[in-house]
Every structure is written in C-alpha cells, then in structure tokens.
Amino acid sequence: MIDIEEIGLKAKNASVELQKLSTKKKNAALLAMATALEKNTARIIVENSLDMKDAGDNGVAPAMLDRLKLTEERIRAMADGLRNVAQLSDPIGEVIRGWVNEDELQVSQVRVPLGVIGMIFEARPNVTVDASGLTFKSGNAVILRGGKEAIRSNIVLADVLREALEENKLPVDAIQMIDDPSHEGVNQMMHLNQYIDVLIPRGGAKFIQMVVQNSTVPVIETGAGNCHVYVDELADLKKALPIIINAKTQRPSVCNAMEKLVVHSAVAKELLPQVKEALEPFNVDLRGDEAAKAILPDIKLATEEDWGTEYNDYIMAIKIVDSVDEAIAHINKYNTKHSEAIITEDYTASQKFTNEIDAAVVYVNASTRFTDGFKFGFGAEIGISTQKLHARGPMGLNELTSTKYVIRGNGQIRES
C-alpha cells in the first residue's frame, strides 16, 4: 500500500525549497515542463488511449469520455497553459499594503505560499498539468490524486513534469501523483493535517460534499455547476439563441456548461421552438415545466429532481417565469453558486440580476462557458471555487497564496 505520510513529508520538504526559488528559476522550470509535454506527446497519448478503452468498456458516458480524452491539440494547449503561467507576475513577495503605526513600526502585509496543496479530482487529466503549473509558480508543492478512469494518463503526465524538474535540478517532489485510486488514499489525504495545508476537490457535487464533510484538512469547495441562463422579457433573441446553444452544447461535460434554461413568459412562445430546433442536431434531451411543455408538447415533464441536477450531458431543463424576481428566486434555490447568466437589453433588470444572484460568476449577455481561469487571464486554473471564504470563482496564482505580516522596528518595546 502506498505510504501517504511519506508523500506528505516529501511534499512539505519540497515546499520549503520552493519558497527559496527565484521567479526566474520557476519560470524556466515551467517552460521546461511545457517543452517536455510536447516532446512526450506520443507517450502520453498511448497511456491515455488505454484509459479511454477501459472507460469505454466500463460504459462511461460519451460526454465524460470527452473530459478524459487527450489529443495532440489538447496536450499542446496544456503546454501553452504552462507557458502562459510563466509569463504571469509572480505573486510571492508582493506587498499588498503597508503603513507605519503609532509606535513607528513599519507594517507590511506580504503574499506567501499556502505550503502543500492536495488535489483530489475525477477523470480530468488536464488538471494534473494545470494544478502543477499554478502551484509551482505560486511556491506550493502539490499532491495529486486523480480518478481511476484517468490513472495511466495522470501518472504519465506527472512523470513527464517531474522529469523536467529533475533535469533542471529542482525539487522533484514539488509534484507528486498518488497512483493508488482506492478510497483509502483519499481518506488518508483528508486527514493529513500535519503535511497538507489545503485540500481542493474537483468533481461531481456528491464527491465534493463527501470531501467537505469528512476532511479535517481545510477544504476549498469547487466545481459543481448547475448553471442557468435566464432570457428576460427584453432580451435580444438574436443574441439569446447562440448563447444558449454555446452554453449547452460546446462541452456539456464541464462545470460551466448550462444545465437549465429559464425563460420569461413574454418571449417563451417565440424563443422555445427556435431553441428546440437549434438543439436537435445535438440530440439534446429536453425537459420542462408544464408551461414549457404546453409550448413544446414533445418534451418530457421535468421533475423536482431535475431542477437541482448537474447533468454533465446533452440534457437540459426549461423553466418559464413571469418576472426577473421569479427567475432570481428559482435560480438561487437550485443553483450550485457557480455561473449564472441573464440575456437582456434592460439595464435595470441586468443590475438586479447581478446584484441578487448568489453565484461566483454572473454574466450579462454572454455564455457561462467563459468561467475559466485561462479565459480570465490567469494562465490556467486550479479549480472554480463556489464558496465565499478566501477564494471565489476561477482560482489562479493569487488564490493559491496566503499572507503574513512583516514588522520592521528600531528597538521599540511595548509599554502599555
């Protein structure tokens, strides 16, 4: 059985070494890792194809297989992500604020690494690379534990990145992959407080809640995406239709894909037949409330369970409302606080929506698919936080730091 404590100790030791590295050395390592990925493309694809075959044989859904699949283009994109991270400003050592207090002490709040970050994620091998790049640049060691469906892919990606570190004489154990996909490894990680400073789970809602409820290591809650697009009564339907199609069908398996369409009753009769026709080439399974079914008789009647479900598939439920207030109430009741959108030409409605919707990211007249660290200019992301403490939304370099106060004096002592 794999010794998780030994992995934790190695990560803690590596994190100490990482804090000593200059920005120049960290960037050089990131560029070397990017080159190594591209040079080992064939090797990576071979291992990924074995994962894909096993997943297919085990009946994994096509949309989830898309998450798992690695191609030359996707490997190149991962390498480019590392290069983008190398170009970003190094947050470590940044003075956030400073002042002189009444005792003439110079007080500075400075960014520092979190230390050791644990990542538990499902069948998303790109997480291995994104997490490794962001944690390395921000001076953190990372312990990765991926899902069994991507075990070979994750191992080879981590090996390639570690080989690049070794060639550059840098701490190899800054990146470690747990190659045991059993639940015992997850259980040990969730209680490794003496080594892991923060745990970040990525996956389905049930998986994330299991980690949140059982971990003694502090957890940043991420990812589950029951996302909505609301089409207001004053929406431009020429904008609405392509946004709906993009948000639902571009990559339905990802957490920022739209799962529910909320439509104002004033535009429902005109819009919904257009939506149904546009989605037919994608074979989207449409469900709706009674008002939606009255307009589209062929669709299924949505159940209470539908409203709270993240499908990660070509399935979409439709809710018809009579006001922006009703839309907001429905969304806030069922959403996972990830990404929500309103389509409207009414500034007042858009302001009400952005002010009152409880979500990490709120859009006006744009697809939810843009909730992404790369699209936000972070180079990549380690996850999308749906909680409110420390970090919220796509997490880049700054979200992987803490702060400490540095106090400079000239012999002062406290007398009262």
| pLDDT digits 0-9 by tens, 37-93 | 999 999 999 999 999 999 888 888 777 788 889 999 999 999 999 999 999 999 999
Q: What pLDDT is recorded for position 255? A: 87
Tens-place pLDDT, residues 126-179: 899 999 999 999 999 999 998 888 899 999 999 999 999 999 999 999 999 998
Residue 207 banded pLDDT, cuts 50, 70, 90:
confident
Contact 200, 384 (CB under 8 A): no
The type of residue at 79 is A
User: What residue ranges define each of the domains in the chain, with the CATH number in brackets?
Assistant: 4-218+387-407 (3.40.605.10), 227-375 (3.40.309.10)
- Pseudo-torsion of CA 128, 133, 138, 140, nearest 10°? 40
Q: State the pTM of this model.
A: 0.83
Is residue 250 scored above 60 in pLDDT?
A: yes
Tell me what percent of the residues of the chain surpass a pLDDT of 90.
76
Is residue 1 scored above 60 in pLDDT?
A: no
Mean pLDDT of the chain: 93
Contact 247, 257 (CB under 8 A): yes
Q: What pLDDT is recorded for position 157? A: 97
Tell me what percent of the residues of the chain surpass a pLDDT of 70.
100
Tens-place pLDDT, residues 20-32: 999 999 999 999 9
For residues 355-363, average pLDDT: 95
Residues 121-154 as b/e (b if ≥16 CB within 10 A, e otherwise) read bbbbbbbbbbbbbbbbbbbbbbbbbbbebbbbbb
Mean pLDDT is highest, among 64-68, 157-161, 213-217, 309-313, for 157-161
Q: Tokens 């809650």 label which residue? A: 221
